[in-house]
Amino acid sequence: MRLTRKLLARFGPSVGQQLTLATTLPVVVVLAVTGALLLSETQARYVHVARQRAFTHLVPLAVPCARALSVHAVDRLDGYLAEAVNVRTEGIQLLDAQIFDTHGDLIASVSAAQRSDAAQSSSSRQLQRWRADAMRSAHGTWLKQYDAPVGPRLHISVPTISGLRWGTLFATFDIGPLEVEAERTRRWMMGIFVFVVMTLIFTLRLALSQLVLMPVSELARSTGALRDGHLEARAWVPGQDEFSRLANNFNAMADELQSYTLSLEKKVDARTREVEEQKQQLEAVNRRLADAVSKLERLANSDGLTGVANRRSFDEALKFEWRRGSRNPHPFCVVMIDVDHFKHYNDTNGHQPGDVALINISNILSKNVRDTDLLARYGGEEFVVLLLDTTKEAGLKVAENLRSAVENADFEFGATQPLGFVSVSLGVSSWPDDADAPDRVLECADKALYEAKGLGRNQVVGFSVDLVVEQLP
């Protein structure tokens, strides 16, 4: 298909050429592949016929040769071979024959004509390998070669067996006449193929011209005239096919266009009023859309359960604050908060009371941070607070206030917790004291939180370098 598209692009805008190529190219490709397969099969068939005739000629000769070898009557072999060389077989001619014993020594050899030394030397190595394999084979073997000076040759080997194997009979056949017949057949098939292809192309071209090109040309003429302002232009395509229906639809469209053009001036004022009304409606829709976008932005930046900021919003705020601090140095703190034993709370009381507890905790935390600070739900039972323009010392105090506020709050199932009340663990890190990048600030706060949970939970721990060393495996 890619080749078809490239050829169509090169053929230009002619619809006839494009349709002809698009319809005939796949068929031609299929016929070409089929023709190639038929030619290959024909060649293989002729080689098979030559091989069968050669074996039919040689196998009967192997029997008397084996008997002569078994009684050591070597003098008879030349006569057998000479008689075989003089026998004519349709399409092939025995050129020479040799008999080798089981040790690979030549015992007898007869040749109908002296072969060229060049041809022998050019194929001697391949023949030697084949003969070596044939002497070890228990069955007849064959090898086809093409000697440039003399043409195609077929080499046949037949084991000479009379009770025991006494040697191997080798023969070389000239299959030139059979190859000529095969070439004549191939040319005949190629002629038929070319004739079929040309007939197919001509037929398709003629059919496309009558069925497609003439209607398309008429439609192109009519549409061009209409484009140039001739509103009276109409297309004439007889028949009941798709092109005729298309022409009728075009004519109907042209009638409506002409009628509409004539009455257009009368409708200008009405259309203008409609446009003004639509403009007002569009402005109202735009206002509603802006409100909806604002609402979507709030939903995208806030947690669906607690209503506080979500992780995405917090990450963006942290990066912005880090960039602002890089230009105009000022400290800020990150407080990581984790609800202690929250899985136990959920497993004991259910997920709905757990959601209520998270909402209450977020409300408590929100009331104990400034409006300029950012509280976010970081995931699950984890919260995080970004304290702007806050030193680490001040951040630890804020974290302690948050811890105490949660501990002293009244939760419905707080007594079921392992500590007897709902509590949180907090880790505090600051910039630029503890880290020089946003993700490093979070990582330091998380390490401090990990330490607070390891110390028994319900505690506040500030990050220090010692925590990194203690947490190394």
Helices (H), ranges, 228-310: 242-263, 268-301
**Which of 144, 162, 181 finishes a domain?**
181
- Count the helix, strand and coil residues of the chain and give each as a percent rounded to the nearest 5: 60, 15, 20
Do 156 and 270 lie in one domain? The reply is no
How far apart, in whole angstroms, are the C-alpha atoms of residue 145 and residue 157?
14
In a domain, 230, yes or no: no
Classify 230 as helix, strand or coil. Answer: coil
Bridge partners (DSSP) listed for residue 338: 382, 425
**Digits of tens for pLDDT over the chain (473 positions)?**
555 555 445 545 566 566 666 666 776 777 777 777 777 777 778 778 878 887 887 788 888 888 888 888 878 887 878 777 777 777 788 888 888 888 888 888 888 764 444 344 445 688 788 888 888 888 888 888 777 666 788 888 889 887 788 888 888 888 878 777 878 888 888 888 888 878 877 777 777 666 666 777 777 787 888 788 777 777 777 777 777 787 788 788 877 777 787 777 678 778 778 888 888 888 888 888 877 776 777 677 888 899 999 999 999 999 998 888 778 788 999 999 999 999 999 999 999 999 999 999 999 999 999 999 999 999 889 999 999 999 999 999 999 999 999 999 999 899 989 999 999 999 999 988 898 888 899 999 999 999 999 999 999 999 987 776 455 44
The reply to whether 288 and 313 lie within a common domain is no
Which amino acid would we find at residue 458?
A: N
Looking at the fold, whether 146 and 281 belong to one and the same domain comes out as no
In a 3-state reduction of DSSP, which class is residue 14?
coil
- Peptide bond preceding 432: is omega within 30 degrees of 0, i.e. cis? yes
195 assigned to some structural domain: no
Q: Comparing C-alpha atoms, which of 169, 186, 174 is closest to residue 144?
A: 174
Same domain, yes or no: 334 and 461: yes
Rg for the chain, CA atoms, rounded:
49
The pTM assigned to this predicted structure is 0.42
Does the residue 205 lie in any domain?
A: no
Residue 285 and residue 334 in one domain:
no
Both 278 and 321 in one domain: the answer is: no
Residues 405, 270 share a domain = no
Contacts (Cβ under 8 Å, ≥6 apart) of 193: 31, 32, 35
187 located within any domain: no
* 228 within some domain: no
37 C-beta neighbours (distance < 10 Å), count: 10
What is the number of structural domains in the chain?
3
- Tell whether 383 is covered by a domain: yes
The CATH number of whichever domain residue 412 belongs to comes to 3.30.70.270
**Could you tell me the residue range of the domain that residue 325 belongs to?**
302-471
Residue 77 located in a structural domain: yes
d(CA 271, CA 343): 66
201 domain residue, yes or no = no
Domain stops at, among 249, 281, 297: 297
